[in-house]
Amino acid sequence: MMEVVEEATHVRHHKKKIAFIFSAMRHFARELSEKGWAVHYIKLEDSDNAGSFSGEVLRQCKILKPERLGVTEPSEWRVLEDVKTWQSDLGIPVDIFTDTRFLCPLPKFTSWAKGRKQLRMEYFYRDMRRQTGLLMNDDGKPGEPIGGKWNFDTENRKPAKADLFMPEPKRFEPDQVTQEVLDLVNNRFGHHFGDLEPFWFGVTTQQAHEAFEHFLQTALPHFGDYQDAMLKGEKFLYHAVTSLYLNIGLLDPLEMCSAVEEAYKAGDVPLNAAEGFIRQIIGWREYVRGIYWLKMPDYASGNFLNATRDLPEFYWTGDTDMACLKAAIKQTREEAYAHHIQRLMVTGNFAMLIGVDPKQVHEWYLTVYADAFEWVEMPNTIGMSQFADGGLLGSKPYASGGNYINKMSDYCGDCAYKVSKKTEPDACPFNALYWTFLARNETKLKGNPRLAQMYATWSRMSAQKQTAYLNASEKFLASVYPSE
């Protein structure tokens, strides 16, 4: 096992993310050693460290002289391309094993996708439900979902109110191993984005299970209802905050989903919460991984809407008067975490509306979140968030004006901008930017049936009103990009 600077700096990962991964690695290495494994662990500061994954593998093979090499299939295209060179470079067989952190092997996903005109997640998800048997009838209606519906997403869009009881994720005090890693990250990567401390992530399998069990007991019953809600000062609401543990292998996806199913069957959790959580794991997570490997490497350069602007500087600083963006970015700096609606409908929506280069948006998300790895982050960004794949993942762009954010959050109440205003100097920028986005991309988007009503509304507007929206958008963008 190795800590190499190339992986820590491929993008300038959030300090908490680097600390989380290095500490989890060191704890896992110690667990293996205690179980009798011979572990060769290369720390970042070791003087002979080659600095790269391939470089360190080559160095260790010269020392250990193995007859063959085994490795789990990498979760990133860039790394797999390196691994493919090892056999010829080393002169020994290299076995690449299936990654057991996933339920759908990649050849099976490729087979599912073959010949389909549309690769919609919903149909993949139904197949995964049948395969796993999760939340499926066993009362004489085989093949049918419990509750008579596959998807209860329409019940999972309630705005939260500030007087709700908000559980906190399970927090862990750093032990000596983690503290050594924190000192290392502070010294070597102190210039990276984000706050390093307080550091409270779990770093062992036991701690990850404790964190998930805490979610089951305190937050899952309300997870479904409020999973799209946003509140000032409430960073986590009813979210599990366990994707970081799942994505590095400290939790098992089927075990998690089975525990949620059991909680539903025991009457502790409503069906919409159980189904919504399971859909994220066996549906969306497996689906985006399949899309990533099916469409790479070209997927990374997708830019269907020809967006070319630079990511605004305030995505790194949080220095903006827009309350929703300020809250999401500030939280991201502090915790290396924001939930999916903050990512999709606040930071992602804004970047798409103003026309930011999707590659820059992708690299930002990969950098700032502890659970972000390219196989999951890129499809979520290029496809779902920025519509840069032209509709492969989503049937329409996830674009909205300020009303959606106002409905699902309490951000707008104290914002310097007024969500009720449309084109005035103090109007919410999302309002004019939304209509400008539709106008700018009319050639490519007008034929989308899910946008037909909005384009009909735009066409009915007077020329004066359309111009007012375009001018308001232009004035706002001039404040974001003064040099344009």
| pLDDT score of 239 | 82
DSSP-assigned states of every residue in 379-416: IIIIIIIT-TTSSSS-SS-----HHHHHHHBS-GGG-S
Which class is domain 5-97? alpha beta
Backbone angles phi, psi at 42, to 5 degrees: -105, 115
Residue in 314, 153, 365, 339 with CA at minimum distance from that of residue 234: 339
Return the amino acid letter for 162: A
pLDDT tens-place values along the chain, 484 residues long: 999 999 999 999 999 999 999 999 999 999 999 999 999 999 999 999 999 999 999 999 999 999 999 999 999 999 999 999 999 999 999 999 999 999 999 999 999 999 898 898 999 999 999 999 999 987 656 688 998 899 887 766 677 676 666 788 999 999 999 999 999 999 999 999 999 999 999 999 999 999 999 999 998 888 877 777 888 888 888 788 999 999 999 999 999 999 999 999 999 999 999 999 999 999 999 999 999 999 999 999 999 999 999 999 999 999 999 999 999 999 999 999 999 899 999 999 999 999 999 999 999 999 999 999 999 999 999 999 999 999 999 889 999 999 999 999 999 999 999 999 999 999 999 999 999 999 999 999 999 999 999 999 999 999 999 999 999 999 999 999 998 7
Q: How far apart are the first and last CA of the chain?
A: 48
Q: If residue 20 lies in a helix (H) or strand (E), which one and from where to where? A: helix 15-34
- Using CA atoms, how far apart are residues 96 and 105, in angstroms rounded to an integer? 13
- Using CA atoms, how far apart are residues 48 and 44, in angstroms rounded to an integer? 10
Give the three-class secondary structure for 412: helix
Q: If residue 97 lies in a helix (H) or strand (E), which one and from where to where? A: strand 94-97
Backbone angles phi, psi at 476, to 5 degrees: -65, -45
> Six-digit token pair at 221?
């019953």
What angle separates helix 106-113 from helix 121-132, to the nearest 10 degrees? 130
| pLDDT score of 163 | 61
Q: Which residues have a Cβ under 8 Å from the Cβ of 190 and sit 6 or more positions away?
A: 15, 196
Give the three-class secondary structure for 337: coil
Residue whose token pair is 């919609």: 120
Contact between 393 and 384 (Cβ < 8 Å): yes
Where does 65-219 have alpha helices with state H? 77-83, 86-90, 106-113, 121-132, 176-188, 205-218
Return the amino acid letter for 224: G
The residue extents of the domains of the chain are 5-97, 106-167+219-295, 314-480
Residue in 292, 304, 315, 312 with CA at minimum distance from that of residue 365: 315
Q: Which residues have a Cβ under 8 Å from the Cβ of 64 and sit 6 or more positions away?
A: 40
| pLDDT score of 156 | 63
Q: 216: how many CB neighbours lie within 10 A of its CB?
A: 19
CATH architecture of 106-167+219-295: Alpha Horseshoe (1.25)
The number of residues in the chain equals 484
Write the DSSP symbol of residue 409: B
Range list of β-strands (E), 290-382: none
| pLDDT score of 43 | 97
Q: Which fold has domain 314-480?
A: DNA Cyclobutane Dipyrimidine Photolyase, subunit A; domain 3 (1.10.579)
| pLDDT score of 221 | 87
